[in-house]
Amino acid sequence: MKSIRDILTRNKTPVTVQDQVTYKQVTIRTNYRGVELRGTKSGSEIGTKNQWVVSPGQFILSRIDARNGAFGIIPDELDGAIVTNDFLAFDLNENEVEREFFNAFLQSPQFLEACIKASRGNTNRKRVEEAFFLNYEIDLPPLTEQQELIQRINSARGQLLVAQHEIGHQEILLTKLKQAILQEAIQGILTAEWRAANPDTEPASELLKRIQAEKAKLIAAKKLKKEKPLPPIKPEEIPFEIPKGWEWCRMGHSGIFQRGKSKHRPRNDQRLFEDGDIPFVQTGDVARSKHNGFKIDTCTGYYNQVGLAQSRLWPAGTMCITIAANIAETGFLQFPACFPDSVVAFVSAADGRTPEFARLFIELTRTSIEKFAPATAQKNINLEILSELMFPLPPLAEQAAIVERVEALMESCRELETEIDNSRTHASQLLQAILKEAFSPVA
């Protein structure tokens, strides 16, 4: 057994901060993320004049956050940087521990345990007690065994890097495959055989007529506001050729777009939510749905009747599109819900799977859609931008065939993702096994 004071020697190099001198300052990130330059300041801006100088290669920890993994090695660029008494800096005793081995040792549960047990005080301001920390005993192999373990650790790290490079390459290829599937879906390539087997399918031009007729009925019944005319499509706007029976249209012509509603300000007024049971969905809930097959099954809060009165309840199955913060994220409500005007509803004006096909189109073109957002603190687009997007509309029956084909192919992609995740886990297990062996207590 060794105590930490056998490995580390406290380095105390005091400095009195001078107003006319510029100093580098240190920050230590939690969760083993190392030591970085926090910034530079002139001495006149630094309130604590009695500080300590650190040097490259020294080990340093935060008295307050060491229990959260806030420790590491001083890099070369922080030579001569200063720290307050809230940081402890140490020189490494290389007669007891190899430097490379110590760097790996910092990731061990034993070392973190020493930091946690040495942290005393109340819940919010626990600080490392230096004497207790230095007296903490740990199992440390002899130098010869450390050197052998270093070789094995480095070998495992090398294998891990090779594996990670290959896994990264596979992820890039998988991303490209998904994009290719979506591209072939909206161009009609995926369903070329389906069209050959179904030559008498009603063309999309007839679907557009029925959509417009249905909209006219809703407007006459005052269930839908009269829409602003959309600009006609010019030949030079058409980006690619589509199959016979399809139609290029403005996206607003393919269904009904309506913004969510949340009139009351402030939106977080508790009077809207007290004892509420009506789901209130926001942009984050829509964005999260991509991890769940684009099913929106979370909500930010619950409106009561007061909240509902200043909003609108949308039925389950409504397609949601975000137009602020997370732009052009999509998903389908799994329950009736309200949402604010940062979310747009898209519903079909005719029976079919137009919203699901539209979701594929938006997913593919999301990067292009985001470019319409002005460069402001919180990016956003408007309903007009979505409505005027050029949209390749398939016949109603073919929409269903496309969605089913894409879902099957994406399921195969998800299986490949699982294989990649398993490969990543397996690649890291070798290194973890060696580290576990290196730092397990000696029997």
**Mean pLDDT throughout 227-239?**
92
Q: Is the pLDDT of residue 250 over 80?
A: yes
- Give the N- to C-terminal CA distance of the chain in Å, as an integer: 11
Q: Are 393 and 254 in contact (CB under 8 A)?
A: yes
pLDDT digits (tens, 9 = 90+) for 304-322: 999 999 999 999 999 999 9
Contacts of 319 (CB under 8 A, 6+ apart): 330, 331, 332, 345, 346, 347, 355, 356, 358, 359
Q: How many CB atoms lie within 10 A of CB 228?
A: 10
CA angle 186, 189, 195 (to 5 degrees): 105
Q: Are 28 and 61 in contact (CB under 8 A)?
A: yes
pLDDT in the model for residue 324: 87
Q: Is the pLDDT of residue 196 over 90?
A: yes
pLDDT in the model for residue 432: 72
Q: Is the pLDDT of residue 153 over 90?
A: no
Q: Is the pLDDT of residue 417 over 80?
A: yes
Q: Is the pLDDT of residue 185 over 90?
A: yes
Structural domains present in the chain: 2-140 (3.90.220.20), 202-394 (3.90.220.20)
**Mean pLDDT throughout 154-164?**
83
Q: Is the pLDDT of residue 122 over 90?
A: no
Q: Is 42 helix (H, G, I), strand (E, B) or coil?
A: strand
Q: Is the pLDDT of residue 380 over 60?
A: yes
Tell me the C-alpha distance between 321 and 259, whole Å.
Answer: 9
